[in-house]
Amino acid sequence: MDSTISDIRKYIVTAALVISNIIIFLLVDFSGGSEDTVHMLKCGAAYTPYILENGEWYRLVTSMFLHFGINHLLNNMVVLAVLGERLEALMNRVCYVAVYFIAGIGGNLLSMYLERQSGHYAVSAGASGAVFGMMGAMLLILLRNRGRVLDLSLKRMLIMVGFSVYLGIVDSGVDNAAHIGGLVCGFLASAILYRPGRKYGQT
């Protein structure tokens, strides 16, 4: 029990993000259904016309905490937990949170821009952009640490990113723009914010 509490305190930001996503999912699912598009819109899912025409920019953030069904939630939370605890051990917590939100919002912005260009709009939600941003952040950290940090290697991380991008391409229901946008934004944000040797709790 003490060990579990210690682990939660050590990775408090990652735990808070995972728990928040789970709680919000349960509230949405029980109040109207997490796979009901209309209900998801009411709860804050991203929809380009609402954002641009109605000025509902908050959806760029709220959509990051919504998921279409339990499988969507679990897929994102597993990666968030695995990569999140490693990033939290390597980055200042404030920088870690900044990278997470910059990547998530950046992914949503790219998705919105491309939808605007094509004229085809879809209701979207999920932490995928932010999660891909964490992959981008880890790639940057690995590059700055000669290809290996903790139990991760650059080769292993590239395989993970490549496989994740491939799965998105073959699945027509996936917002690949948000994934790629999140990946790039996470990499760039980490290039600015990451300082080798400064772990969580350090100034």
- Is residue 103 within 8 Å of residue 132, measured between CB atoms? yes
Indicate if 39 belongs to the active site: no
Indicate if 179 belongs to the active site: yes
Q: Which among 9, 4, 173, 168 is positioned nearest to 79, based on CA atoms?
A: 168
| The two three-digit tokens of residue 135, written as one number | 């992959």
User: Residue 152 belongs to what H/E stretch?
Assistant: strand 152-153
Q: Which of 67, 111, 124, 179 is catalytic?
A: 179
Neighbours of 196 (CB within 10 A): 10
- Rg over alpha carbons for the chain, rounded to the nearest Å, is 17
- The Cα-based distances of 30 to 44, 95, 149 in angstroms read 16, 34, 41
Q: Which of 111, 124, 128, 164 is catalytic?
A: 128
Residue reference for tokens 């598009």? 37
Annotated active-site positions, please? 128, 179
